Structure 1
């Protein structure tokens, strides 16, 4: 995606994507948020797998209802039927997007091949929940990332992979 932080800021990050990609991004936003609540706040949602329930689907359904209240975040094609398709993917036992399995930041990076994807998911989560992980606002980081995407006077270095720099120096 071109300028993902600009897209997030404009609340268009999920727009223009294939349906299954939107489902996967919503699932991973939810799973990463549950992980953050557990790790950063030392708390758990009562209906998430971190509380010991046998299925995270009730918590994920609650999450989707929150998303649907922020209609501008969702693509125009979103409907109750699409919500059910998303839940079906989240409950699939043989896929990487099952809400009954925890996810960590490193899993997200590996899955998407993007060091910045956890931050993007967290920023989408902030738009959905109204707060960032641990209650921290992400507005300053959003602005910094948008500057970096737009050639913000040297800030473009924020998005470089250090390994790429080391390989070039050989």
Structure 2
């Protein structure tokens, strides 16, 4: 039985830059398809592509929405992970800052990078004066739910997300920041 190579070391976690929109769209699609290949309908997997995600990343990194931004984890081989945040976009978030996306490439998992990226995101939201942060996770995504619980997140509600790619049952995970 062969062992997987250890995750590549992370050189830095830093704010994402506007010129990284296209690489972040690619990372987003790669990790999303991998994560949801057995959970999302085949049509959703076909419809999510870099062209569909690029406008989100361009807008987030352009700084047009107050309170929105992203952190990236970067190693010698490039971008390994990303965390995007913004004001809450769904009533189920109950006034918390929302973590819109938290993605780590498979090759970089298992060494604490996701925990570090989440921790730095929560610290940044706390420094901006937020009392709470929340995110939505697809109910069937047991691995992510276990990860968030291990990071101190509490499941605090449910809602059905109508799309744009597929109708999914979601769990709201919250962190107190005060």
Same fold (TM over 0.5): no
Larger Rg: 1
Q: Which has the higher contact order (CA 8 A, sep 6+)?
A: 1
Instruction: Give TM-score scaled by structure 2 length.
Output: 0.35
Whichever structure has more strand as a proportion of its residues is 2
